[in-house]
Amino acid sequence: MTALRVLGIALLLLLGVGVVLLRWVAPDEAPQSLVFVGGEIITMAEPLEVEAIWVKDGLIQLLGSRSEVLEAAGREVHRVDLDGATLMPGFIEPHTHPLATALLGAAIDVSGFRHESRAEMMATLEDAIEGFTPQPWILAFGWDPIMVPQLEPPTLQELDALSPDKPLVILTQMMHEAFANSAALREAGIDRDTPDPPAASFGRDENGDLTGSVLEVNAINYLLRAVPALPPAVTALLLRWQFADYARAGFTTIGVLGVVGRAKDPIGLLQSLAADAHVPVRTVVYGLPQHLDVEAKPEPMYEARFAIRGVKFWMDGSPFTGGAAFAEPYEDTDLTRERMHLAPDRMGPLNHGLEAFTTEFGRFHRAGYQVAIHTQGERAVQRVLDAAASVLAEHPWPDHRHRLEHNALITGEQIRRAKALGFELSFFTDHIYYYGDRLAEIVGDRVDRYMPVGTAFREGHRATIHSDNPATPIGPLRVMRTAILRTPRKGHRAIGSSERLSVDQALRAMTTNAAWQLGIENHRGSLEAGKAADLLILSRNPMETPPEELDSIEVLGTWIDGQPVDTRRASRPNLGLALRALTQLTTPSHQ
Ligand SMILES: [Zn+2]
């Protein structure tokens, strides 16, 4: 039996269960005119709290006291009793990668979220590969030398022993390094003479032989191009399930910061899903340069659940692979030397020369694309701001809102300069939660200014926080709690406590500021008359919950355009897609 047949049977089961479920629990379409009362309502606007909100035809009509809203809405309006729950604007994730997550969901999980040691990870790999025979490529995800102690990278010999004939690829948690066995390298056409792609490399030993290590985005893409694509409807179904996961976590909109993941036409795929009025989240997309037409930027369609907003670049890599372009060398410690295999004076490379990047940045800037750039180290931030300063001097665009992403070690001065140039900042605060206990071994004293989101707020930025899923799990309430408390999962020492956010700031980061960065602030992000009714219902009011308990708050539901979102895997549209997936799986060309 092939793996695709197994997937086919799973889909068939889903379909069967789905049909039964649909008969009993299919949520009704909500009436077009609704008043929410009986709970706490946080608007994230002025006034901050109201008693009631009236929604009609997907738009917010009126907010205010219970009596005034009910009177204005008239007798025929349908009342929704919140029953003590809290209603607020749907969360907005400013930076995530749904296609990568959807496809990696089918990979073997070797992550530090589930494994404590190398032995456990290798056992998981062995078990999975043993029971996994017919899959054309074996993919594993989550190798994590920072979270898992004493984690030596797998050698090519080990990878070949795990899977002698079939291609095997293990992707690290931060997705900036992969390990490939000989079969995978062969299928991808990578040998000792293959030149390194720009800003990336294939690991080689002192004799020039490949080690199986594949470092940074361009090299990983080169390798993964050889993985056979899934039938389109299967990819679409996995993506729909992924969208439902975001909705269950409380998101109503997500920013897709670089559509990474193997699919024929990734942007077209996202767009086709969003054409369905029942898609569980709205997507705002930043494409890779090669996927975009720089001559013709599409106008965003705010009524649709999809918009192409910008372009994504990577100026440096991950702090956890030695790829972040710091201004001072990485710390020289057991972790950096023995586990990360960094030379003692390692600074991390820049991916683009100043002149070349200025040209590329300028092309997209002039075409009206918002430009978002991955920048972790100070030198990466510097290079982007230098390029932007010269482009902006010749082609001013006061409201460009270009974005710097992650910003591990951006300095206070750079934060001020970014503000002056009109840049917005988004921070990957989950580094503190998942890696905080090891950060000092990588950056030393610089840990006190790691992910300086508090400074960004003080300097007047509309800053946001993100989880960069699949780099870390989806969890907006955990992300907010970490930004507020700055305490890691292991150990109790807070990381850079002067960079803490207030609860109000964290909520703004996740709603109004994220809407601003995605360019949808006139339509979403807060509850105000005339805006779309994109709503989130929580079991407790986050403003009155102690921050350490924030992620115990339950998401009771999300609404988009005044309609409840169906977050079940066996939702009605998913069943149609499952049927198509089945058809494609049983078509010989896909076998
Ligand atoms: Zn990312």
Assign residue 138 the CATH number of its domain. 3.10.310.70
Specify the number of domains making up the chain: 2
How far, CA to CA in Å, does 454 sit from each of 327, 461, 515?
21, 10, 19
Residue 282's identity, in one-letter code, is R
Tell whether 18 and 130 lie within a shared domain.
Answer: no
What's the confidence (pLDDT) of residue 589? 52
Angle at 167 between CA 110 and CA 291, to 5 degrees: 85
575 within a domain of the structure (yes/no): yes
Ligand 1: centre distance to CA 223 (Å): 19
CA of 468 to the centre of ligand 1 (A): 5
With respect to residue 72, please indicate whether it lies within any of the assigned structural domains: no
Same domain, yes or no, for 129 and 211? yes
544 CA from centroid of ligand 1 (Å):
32
CA of 176 to the centre of ligand 1 (A): 10
Ligand 1 midpoint to CA 258 (Å): 7
Q: How far is the CA of 207 from the centre of ligand 1 (A)?
A: 34
CA 154 – CA 138 distance, rounded (Å): 15
Q: How far away, in angstroms, is 296 Cα from ligand 1 center? A: 25
Q: Ligand 1 centroid to 96 CA: how many Å?
A: 6
CA of 60 relative to ligand 1 center, distance in Å = 32
Q: Is residue 155 part of a domain?
A: yes
Range list of β-strands (E), 437-579: 464-465, 535-538, 555-560, 563-564
Instruction: Divide the 591 residues of the chain into consecutive groups of 10 and give the mean pLDDT of each group.
Output: 52 53 55 95 97 97 97 93 97 94 84 93 91 74 90 95 94 90 97 92 95 92 86 86 94 92 82 85 93 82 82 95 96 91 92 97 96 98 98 96 98 98 98 95 97 98 95 95 96 91 98 97 97 98 97 96 89 79 66 38
Q: How far is CA 373 from the centre of its chain?
A: 14
CA of 470 to the centre of ligand 1 (A): 8
Residue 575 structural domain: 9-27+568-590
345 CA → ligand 1 middle, Å:
27
Confirm whether 169 is domain-assigned: yes
Report how far ligand 1's centroid is from the alpha carbon of 270 (Å).
Answer: 17
Distance 428 CA to ligand 1 centre (A): 9
Question: pTM here?
Answer: 0.89
The HSE-up count of residue 541 (CA atoms within 13 Å, CB side) is: 14
Note whether 116 and 203 are same-domain residues. Answer: yes
Measured in angstroms, how far is the CA atom of residue 491 from the centroid of ligand 1?
26
Q: Considering only the C-alpha atoms of the chain, give the largest distance between any 2 of them, rounded to a whole number of Å.
A: 82
In a domain, 190, yes or no: yes
Name the amino acid, one letter, at 289: P
Kindly give the distance from the C-alpha atom of residue 95 to the centroid of ligand 1, in angstroms, as a whole number: 6
The three-state secondary structure class of 425 is strand
How far apart, in whole angstroms, are the C-alpha atoms of residue 266 and residue 15?
A: 26
On whether both 15 and 108 belong to a single domain, the answer is: no
Measured in Å, residue 257 CA sits from the centre of ligand 1 at 6
Quote the ligand 1 centre to 260 CA distance (angstroms).
9
The distance from CA 20 to its chain's CA centroid, rounded to whole angstroms, is 33
Q: Which domain-ending residue is among 208, 224, 240?
A: 224
Asked whether residue 130 is domain-assigned, the answer is: yes
- Ligand 1 centroid–CA 97 distance in Å is 6
Contacts of 88 (CB under 8 A, 6+ apart): 41, 42, 43, 44, 507, 511, 527, 535, 536, 538, 542
Residue 259 CA to ligand 1 center (angstroms) comes to 9
Dist. CA 169 → ligand 1 center (Å): 20
Instruction: Compute the distance from residue 100 Cα to the ligand 1 centre, in Å.
Output: 10
Ligand 1 center to residue 352 CA distance, Å? Answer: 18
Q: Are 108 and 212 part of one and the same domain?
A: yes
Confidence at residue 217, expressed as pLDDT on a 0 to 100 scale: 85
- The β-bridge relationship of strands 306-314 and 370-375 is parallel
Q: Are residues 107 and 219 in the same domain?
A: yes
Question: Which one of 187, 208, 224 terminates a domain?
Answer: 224
Point out the domain boundary residue: 200, 224, 248. Answer: 224
Ligand 1 centre and the CA of 431: distance in Å? 13
- Whether 383 contacts 374, CB under 8 Å: no
465 CA distance to ligand 1 middle (Å): 12
Residue 359 within any structural domain of the chain: no
In-domain check, residue 3: no
